[in-house]
Amino acid sequence: MAVELLTDFPERFRERRRLYVNASPGLRRELELDSYWPHKGGMVLKFRGVNSIGDALALVGCAIQIRREERATLPAGQAFVSDLLGCTVIDSGSGAELGQVEDVHSGSGEALLLVIKAEGKEHLVPFAAEFLGKLDVERKRIEVKLPEGLLELDAPLTEEEKRAQQDADRET
């Protein structure tokens, strides 16, 4: 199976043979890795018992996982994406609670984007050293130091701003 790598530790396939997939909601399936090799920026994984295209199709869209206790040890200030989910985000300048991390997006530059939701609002905050105050995944808490105006960048337009935009559109 050709897979997209979401790990920073692909070399650990050498020592890891038991992997898991959530084959359907509530059903975790253990797979044994027979072999692997790099392919076009990703990886090809060959699992024992997955011997046909039909067998492989049953796994399309599944995330391949390891047990939590088998994860690599990370340096201070780094975290696994799964540990960021559900964290409360606090603005260290004002002490205001911004909301909880509902999702993490990648692929929009070097830094991951935390999707923070609270009171019907959604904020996208880069998970970058420049903005990170204190990270405490044990207590599910992230303190951030945000530049002034960052949260307003993706804020919805006020009624006044909508009218001004409509007026400008009519003039063009």
Q: What is the DSSP string of 96-149?
A: -EEEEEEEEE-SSSSSEEEEEEETTEEEEEEE-TTTEEEEETTTTEEEE-PPTT
Q: What is the spatial distance between Cα 90 and Cα 149, in angstroms, rounded to a whole number? A: 16
Q: What is the DSSP letter of 155?
A: P
Residue corresponding to tokens 């200030």: 77
Quickly count: other Cβ atoms within 10 Å of residue 33's Cβ.
15
List, for residues 38-77, the tens digit of each pLDDT value: 999 889 999 999 999 999 898 888 888 888 888 888 887 6
Question: What pLDDT does residue 36 have?
Answer: 93
pTM: 0.66
Q: What is the DSSP letter of 40?
A: T
Question: What pLDDT does residue 86 have?
Answer: 95
Rounded mean pLDDT of 125-143? 89
Question: What pLDDT does residue 155 have?
Answer: 57
Say if CB 47 and CB 31 are below 8 A apart.
Answer: yes
Complete domains list, the chain, with CATH: 2-69 (no CATH), 81-151 (2.30.30.240)
Question: What pLDDT does residue 63 have?
Answer: 85
Beta carbons within 8 Å of 82's beta carbon, 6+ residues apart? none
List, for residues 87-119, the tens digit of each pLDDT value: 999 998 888 899 999 998 876 667 788 899 988
Which comes out higher in pLDDT, residue 162 or 93?
93
- The mean predicted confidence, pLDDT, of the chain is 85
Question: What pLDDT does residue 154 have?
Answer: 60
